[in-house]
Chain A
């Protein structure tokens, strides 16, 4: 369900931006980190419903799900999503629908440990970003 509030934030932010710049938006590329486990089809559905009567009316949303690279700041170990996934599955199982990283992916270090040394001091690019905006 959270996909809707995310889509709303996207439409509101870009609509205002488009108004300020006197443009219409044709295409948006949104980059989301995979630990957020966002449902891309719901995100698209929400976007299409919310964009009506805005400067995004004719915009197409492209969602890129990226797998971050991780680095432990305690021991320096670098690792990929495949070493994080088992831990993510466990957390998702504990919380069910209210899975915290779904709402705030930046909370990942609270829940995930370095596979080598067990530290929570993990660095990664986890924000939800607008990567590209095409206007007319």
Chain B
């Protein structure tokens, strides 16, 4: 028996677990996960992108370590949001791990996280379909939120993830076309096309489909995302309401 796996399961059992994922990297999973967590009152954010660890970077707390007390790992709190990341355990350092190491890290991070009264847990997933996805599946029955861009380059990879999710009985609740358009003098320009294939994929599995605009000013908020109030946050609030 592995006590940490059991404890991790127990931790998430009575909470709503929303996993933000994509087959693809760089499509905005971490941004969406963070803004979702900021817009759902009383939620906590767990960074399971063990090598990427974008969450501390987005919130400007890279290198800051979690305090560890008698009852477990204290969250890093930014803008009222509770964050948990492996970055808060290893500091500002690369993480390279074989599958069993990733599994152990996911289980321990969740098992020891002091989630307190957070009734919703947002999980920021790594790209692809590796150990973290399997590990989360062992621990919790999560609700997937799938992020893609309208680009054809993303479609095939995301389709494979969606096929897998359907097969294991975890239907995506929301399907997000991120960086879909730019607002330009009241008109919407779709630089990557309308993403019809991706949209149909989302609709076919019964997910709500959302478009999120490109906001160039978002870059200025990397490191202080909790202060961002622009159109991407607004669009993510819509997603949150539908969850």
Identify the A interface with B (CB < 8 A). 1-2, 4-6, 8-10, 12-14, 16-17, 30, 46, 73, 95, 98, 100, 103-110, 120-123, 126-130, 133
Contact = CB atoms under 8 A, between A and B. Distances in A.
Counting chain B residues whose Cβ lies within 8 A of the other chain, the interface size class is 20 to 34
A107 B2 contact: no
Given A5-B68, A12-B7, A127-B2, A100 B89 contact: yes
A121 B98 CA distance: 7
Interface of B: 1-4, 6-7, 10, 65-66, 68-73, 89-91, 93-98, 100-101, 103-105, 108-109, 111-112
A1 B65 CA distance: 15
B97 A109 contact: yes
A33 B107 CA distance: 16
B110 to A, nearest CB: 11
B74 to A, nearest CB: 11
A17 B89 CA distance: 30
B10 A108 contact: no
Nearest to A8: B71
B2 A106 contact: no
Contact of A104 (B2, B70, B91, B104): B104
Nearest to A120: B96
A41 to B, nearest CB: 15
A4 B71 contact: yes
A40 to B, nearest CB: 16
B100 A106 contact: yes
B98 A9 contact: no
Contacts of B97: 106-107, 109-110
A126 B68 contact: no
